[in-house]
Amino acid sequence: MDRPGYLVLGRWKGAAIRVHLSAPLGALLFSGFDYRPLQWLGFLVLILAHEIGHATVARWAGAQVVSLDVHAIGGRCVYYDGFAGALARAFIASGGIAAQVGLWLLTLLVLDGPVDLRPTLGETGVKALQDFTVTNFLVAALNLLPLEPLDGAEIWKLPPLLAQRARSLVRRSLLKRRASALERAIRDPEQEDQGEDGPRLLH
């Protein structure tokens, strides 16, 4: 699926990794329009991690992932969801934020983990990771806004959808138990109750 202005850099589990010609503008904005190659790389890593998060959940939900795109104002995961329902789409939307949280924890581990990597990274590398952590948080917070086309528009549907699914499971369980009780009653047509006046049939 080729689109004008995109360059294919590689593939992830069959899905094309595509970068739009406008992506360098987003990288410049990410770095505050300064010459910071590490921040530019961070922009690419952040967007790709977010889209891979979407793609991972989409594949788990049975969707066909076509491409992971990076452009000036972010990215997108292109997939065919087939007959995926609202709950599956909400989980797919949350996959990007989940990936960013994982990336944030990994960055904190590098900066403040049990092994001091700051001397190895150098001042420039540490500053880049610190900026990356802040930017990662801001991008995730922005994406959680319940507005189209942001992920939050689907993510915030999760609580009511999960509550609806839980109620449905409870109802199904109750109906199953009632059906089992009725089936047992039908299989035992007669029960004997030994009383004072002799045997009695209970119907």
pLDDT in tens, 86-129: 999 999 999 999 999 999 999 999 888 888 888 888 888 888 88
Report the SS3 class of residue 176: helix
Contacts of 24 (CB under 8 A, 6+ apart): 40, 72
Could you tell me if residue 123 is inside a domain?
yes
Instruction: Specify the number of domains making up the chain.
Output: 2
With respect to residue 183, please indicate whether it lies within any of the assigned structural domains. yes
Peptide bond between residue 149 and the one before it cis (omega within 30 degrees of 0): yes
- Are 111 and 186 in a shared domain? no
Is 148 found in the same domain as 171?
no
85 in the same domain as 182: no
Q: What is the DSSP letter of 194?
A: E
Predicted model pTM: 0.81
Q: Are residues 50 and 110 in the same domain?
A: yes
Residue among 125, 24, 119 nearest 71 (CA) = 24
Cβ partners under 8 Å of residue 199, min gap 6: 192, 193
Q: 173 and 120 share a domain? A: no
**pLDDT per position as a tens digit, 173-195:** 888 888 888 888 887 755 545 44
* Residue 56, domain member (yes or no): yes
Residue 77 shares a structural domain with residue 170: no
Parent domain of 169: 164-202
Q: Is residue 1 situated within a structural domain?
A: no
